[in-house]
Amino acid sequence: MNPCPRCHHPRTRHGCAPCNNRRRRTARAQLDHLAIDAAVHTRRPTPGLRPAERRAVSAQLTAHGVPAHEIARILDVTKRTVHRWRAQDRATAAA
The string of pLDDT tens digits covering residues 15-48 is 666 666 555 555 556 888 999 999 999 998 878 8
Give the C-alpha separation, 34 to 66, whole Å: 20
Sign of the alpha-carbon torsion through 81, 86, 91, 92: positive
Q: Looking at the whole model, is its pTM more than 0.75?
A: no
- Helix, coil or strand: residue 69: helix
Give the C-alpha separation, 9 to 3, whole Å: 5
Digit-coded pLDDT (tens) for 54-85: 999 999 999 999 999 999 999 999 999 999 99
Give the C-alpha separation, 79 to 86, whole Å: 11
Digit-coded pLDDT (tens) for 2-15: 666 666 666 655 56
Q: Which residue type occupies 90?
A: R
